[in-house]
Structure 1
Amino acid sequence: MPRNPELTKQLIIEKALPIFNTKGYAAASLSDITSATGITKGAIYGNFKNKDEVASAAFEKGVSIVTGQIAKQVSFEKTAPRKLMAMIEYYGKYINNPPIPGGCPILNSSIQADDNHPFLRSRIIRSIALIKDSLAKIITRGILEKQIKKDVDAEEFAVFFYATIEGAISLSRIEGDGRSYDFVKNYLEKRIDEISI
């Protein structure tokens, strides 16, 4: 176990992330985390108040990994339409090779984000809002730079785009192949071509 408290905390988060993301909040236990980290329950409680706090930190870490990778891929592109296409490409690879075991932390956690887990639900809502806002900014900038038609509603397109991709990821993972995602990918690429100048 690391002697540095911050390193210990980071180790707990890193090992807890795939546990919560594959098992889900309800099924994941502190015993799973102690087994994965080699850290006692007492040491875990020395860094976190409770299981909710560990789950929240793990969720935040998972979202930061995914959004960081998306931001990096998008940053290579010069135009708004190409940035949107880059996101489609990223998620297409993501289905069979997710950066976190279990896949999308937002999608996985959303299934359990009901009234019994308000701490988790609020974080999911905030993460979704940030992603939709980032998409809307890409589209708005594309309109201002005359890359996207001016009659496109940035917020509406952002919601449609994100919801469609998340739905396609869910279907493809359940079905065990990328066929549904490929259909959605083709459809979204056509929509991007239609709104592009």
Structure 2
Amino acid sequence: MRKNGRQTRENIIEEALQIFSVKGYFNTSINDILSATGLTKGGLYGHFSGKEELWGAAYERAVEIWKGVVFKGVRKIADPIARVEKVIENDLFGYCGGDVFDGGCFFFNMLVELSGQSETMAGRIRSGFMEFAGLLAAWMEAAERKGLLKKGVNHKEVADFIVISMNGASALYASSRDRRFLKETSNQLRAYLRQMRA
């Protein structure tokens, strides 16, 4: 693909991502995307076979953006529990509170909309959440091996609870723009993690 073709494709993905974020998948029409990009149908279909393929590319871009925000400064933290705390802070304040996507948390919004409508698309999002929880669980396990975590903590349940809590805060923040939901969730998750320290 030539440079101009790549740039056009990237522009389509960026515009579609924000539109899907605000309007959802089913309420986004091809005409919405054409209006935002200034392309003709032929120009759009030269890059994507249809709306679902475009959504897949937008989803992958959303994952890249989310990772860039949520994992910022995490690699240099040696303490696995502090790493989990940093990810919570980055997710709540940098991603959700940072209004990265116009419509709020792209993944939560899409999961709610697509569940029961498209198992393939919803399953992809659910897998992403579970992969994230799996990473947090692995960090908790590493903390236990290092003697930083009390014995007997169920790593998977703790990680799932953290992901569920962050998504609840995200939904309440998106609907109200009240940062209290982000602050309180962050405070309580930090306190929860502190109680588990050895």
Same fold (TM over 0.5): yes
**Residue 96 of structure 1 pairs with residue 97 of structure 2:** yes
1:3: how far off? 5.4
Query: CA offsets per residue over residues 150-188 of structure 1, 9 Å max, x none?
Result: 311111111011101111111122232012222222211
Contact kept? 1:136, 1:154, Cα under 8 Å: yes
The residue that corresponds to 2:76 in the other structure is: 76
Instruction: State the AA in 2 paired with 1:189.
Output: R
CA distance in 1, matches of 2:77, 2:97: 23
- Residue segments in structure 2 that go unaligned for 5+ positions in a row: none
Instruction: State the AA in 2 paired with 1:139.
Output: M
- Residue segments in structure 1 that go unaligned for 5+ positions in a row: none
Query: CA offsets per residue over residues 81-126 of structure 1, 9 Å max, x none?
Result: 2112112211332333222222211111012122322332121122
The residue that corresponds to 2:119 in the other structure is: 118
The residue that corresponds to 1:19 in the other structure is: 19
Cα RMSD (Å): 1.8
Contact kept? 1:56, 1:119, Cα under 8 Å: no
Contact kept? 1:63, 1:105, Cα under 8 Å: no
Instruction: State the AA in 1 paired with 2:141.
Output: T
The residue that corresponds to 1:36 in the other structure is: 36
Identity %: 30
**Residue 177 of structure 1 pairs with residue 178 of structure 2:** yes
TM-score (norm 2): 0.90
CA distance in 1, matches of 2:35, 2:69: 29
Contact kept? 1:92, 1:181, Cα under 8 Å: yes
The residue that corresponds to 1:141 in the other structure is: 142
Are the structure 2 counterparts of residues 70 and 91 from structure 1 closer, same or farther at C-alpha, using a change threshold of 3 Å? closer
User: Bigger shift: 149-158 or 113-122?
Assistant: 113-122
CA distance in 1, matches of 2:21, 2:7: 21
User: Bigger shift: 163-172 or 68-77?
Assistant: 68-77
Query: CA offsets per residue over residues 22-69 of structure 1, 9 Å max, x none?
Result: 111111111121122222111211211111111121112112210232
SS in 2 for 1:111: helix
The residue that corresponds to 1:153 in the other structure is: 154
Contact kept? 1:80, 1:148, Cα under 8 Å: no
TM-score (norm 1): 0.91
**Residue 192 of structure 1 pairs with residue 172 of structure 2:** no
